[in-house]
Amino acid sequence: MKKLLSVPFTRQTSSISCALASLSMVLTYHDKKISESNISKVVSPMKGSKEYHIADMGRVALSMGFAADLYCYDFSNIFTKDHVGLSQHTLRERYMKWTQSKKSIHYRLPYLRLMEAGGKLFVRVVSERQLTDWIDQNTPPILLVECQPFYRLHKKQDCGHAIVLTGYDDDTFYLHDPLREDVPHAKGQSACIPRSELLFSLYRRFGNTLVLRSRY
């Protein structure tokens, strides 16, 4: 079985704008056309970093009338196992306490801002079945993958990269990679990658997955 969504392609215009380009693709797919440059006017890179946080992409979508659900499971740095299954209200309360303590760190704040804006945060591992279900529901998710395994780099490349999942078949996931590098499994708009490799790259980046749905 194969399903492929007709997601318009946007190429990122700078080395740090993959999340902006990915958001542009998904919003345009849902008939809310917006350019990468216009998104950059309403959101800023993380403090102390040149990268854009995937949670902030969710806030932009919320402001445009979408529902935004963010899935992740970063137990080692931000979350602990006792976060699994907590209600949105309880998660938000914990984040508020963190921001008032000396232990607060800047990369927790985008998650809090997302919840305060009306988005939902789910501390759980995204399954392969969930990815295919979203495609079946005509809902292309934005994934944050680890560059080293995704691009099959032999040297250490510890960075995240945002892509849009656009389809699947029995053994393969299809995607739009805004960087469009000429590598074996990512050649522009018709990029594909073995399912196991995409999942490995996604889980290496703590499973960060942003799902946007129209409220209308």
pLDDT at 184: 42
Q: Which domain holds residue 21?
A: 3-214
Cα 65 versus chain centre, distance = 18
DSSP string, 43-111: --PPTTSSSPPHHHHHHHHHHTTEEEEEEE--TTTT--GGGTT--HHHHHHHHHHHHTSTT--GGGHHH
CA neighbor of 38 nearest in space, from 6, 10, 66, 7: 10
> Contact, 83 vs 125, CB < 8 A?
no
Task: Kindly report the pTM of this predicted structure.
Answer: 0.85
Question: Hey, how many other C-beta atoms are within 10 angstroms of the C-beta on 137?
Answer: 10
pLDDT at 185: 41
Check which CATH number belongs to the domain holding 173 and give it. Answer: 3.90.70.10
- In angstroms, rounded to a whole number, what is the distance separating the alpha carbons of residues 124 and 85? 8
For the chain, state the CA radius of gyration: 16
47-62 in b/e form (b: 16+ CB < 10 A) is: eeeebbbbbbbbbbbb
Burial class (CB in 10 A: 0-12, 13-18, 19+), 43: middle
pLDDT, averaged per 10 consecutive residues of the chain (216 residues), comes to: 92 93 97 95 83 95 97 66 71 70 64 91 92 98 89 70 95 90 48 91 90 89
3-class SS at 139? coil
Number of domains within the chain: 1
- Within 8 A by CB and 6+ apart from 118, the residues are 62, 68
pLDDT at 189: 52
Mutual angle of helices 18-29 and 54-63, in 10-degree steps: 30
3-class SS at 212? strand
